[in-house]
């Protein structure tokens, strides 16, 4: 059987993002039978419905095709003003259109949120759940993954040094893949 393709979408587009470091850690945990691929969203211009009639920005088509080819998607997001970063919302919008051609449709999702405080991106986590409901992405309910004080969890090379976070992320990943496999069929 072909490997399952799991996309990893990071909500932050900054270079030294902690959420990017969580993504790197997850990539290192790829179990056999899976291909994990980081999906980058920074080069997607802000979605405008006119594009779908008048011509698309060059980055849209490959992005939509890439998402379409995935079996499932993991989102790792920080919180911006109690919601998801605009870049992540934009990527979700780009993939959702034109109407009736939502490339996210049916793909099992997992949400990881983090913040540099104790709040752990709770607001972003739940705003994202709301969007994924509309995009028809069945989303892992438990465990919920909130990573607090994320800046303390990596060394200067971006390596995860918080063992309990590592174990938690691994067990959540296991739960997610079990959940996703049932849905992928």
Ligand X SMILES: Cc1cc2nc3c(=O)[nH]c(=O)nc-3n(C[C@H](O)[C@H](O)[C@H](O)COP(=O)(O)O)c2cc1C
Residue 97 Cβ, how far from ligand X at the closest point, in Å? 25
C-alpha to C-alpha distance for 19 and 160, rounded to whole angstroms: 11
Nearer to ligand X, 17 or 132 (CB): 17
C-alpha to C-alpha distance for 41 and 9, rounded to whole angstroms: 8
Binding residues (CB under 6 A) for ligand X: these are: 12, 14, 17-19, 78-82, 115-117, 119
Residue 80 Cβ, how far from ligand X at the closest point, in Å? 4
Residue 77 Cβ, how far from ligand X at the closest point, in Å? 8
Nearer to ligand X, 32 or 81 (CB): 81
C-alpha to C-alpha distance for 124 and 59, rounded to whole angstroms: 25
Residue nearest ligand X, CB atom distance: 78
- Strands (DSSP E) found in the chain: 4-10, 34-39, 72-77, 109-114, 145-147
Nearer to ligand X, 77 or 96 (CB): 77
Backbone φ and ψ for 140, nearest 5 degrees, come out as: -55, 130
Per-residue tokens: 63 = 């992005």
Nearer to ligand X, 44 or 177 (CB): 44
Is 92 within 8 Å of 131 (Cβ atoms)?
A: yes
Residue 130 Cβ, how far from ligand X at the closest point, in Å? 16
């Amino acid at each position: 059987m072909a490997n399952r393709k799991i996309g990893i979408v990071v909500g932050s587009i900054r270079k030294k993002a902690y959420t990017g470091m969580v993504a790197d850690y997850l990539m290192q945990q790829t179990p056999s039978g899976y291909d994990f691929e980081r999906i980058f969203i920074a080069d997607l211009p802000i979605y405008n419905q006119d594009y779908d009639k008048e011509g698309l920005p060059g980055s849209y088509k490959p992005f939509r095709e890439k998402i379409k080819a995935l079996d499932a998607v993991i989102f790792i997001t920080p919180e911006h003003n109690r919601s998801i970063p605009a870049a992540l919302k934009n990527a979700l919008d780009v993939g959702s259109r034109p109407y009736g051609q939502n490339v996210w449709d049916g793909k099992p999702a997992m949400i990881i949120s983090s913040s540099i405080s104790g709040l752990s991106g709770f607001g972003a986590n739940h705003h994202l759940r709301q969007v994924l409901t509309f995009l028809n992405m069945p989303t892992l309910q438990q465990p919920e993954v909130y990573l607090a004080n994320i800046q303390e969890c990596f060394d200067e090379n971006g390596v995860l040094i918080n063992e309990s976070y590592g174990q938690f992320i691994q067990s959540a990943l296991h739960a997610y893949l079990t959940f996703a496999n049932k849905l992928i069929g």
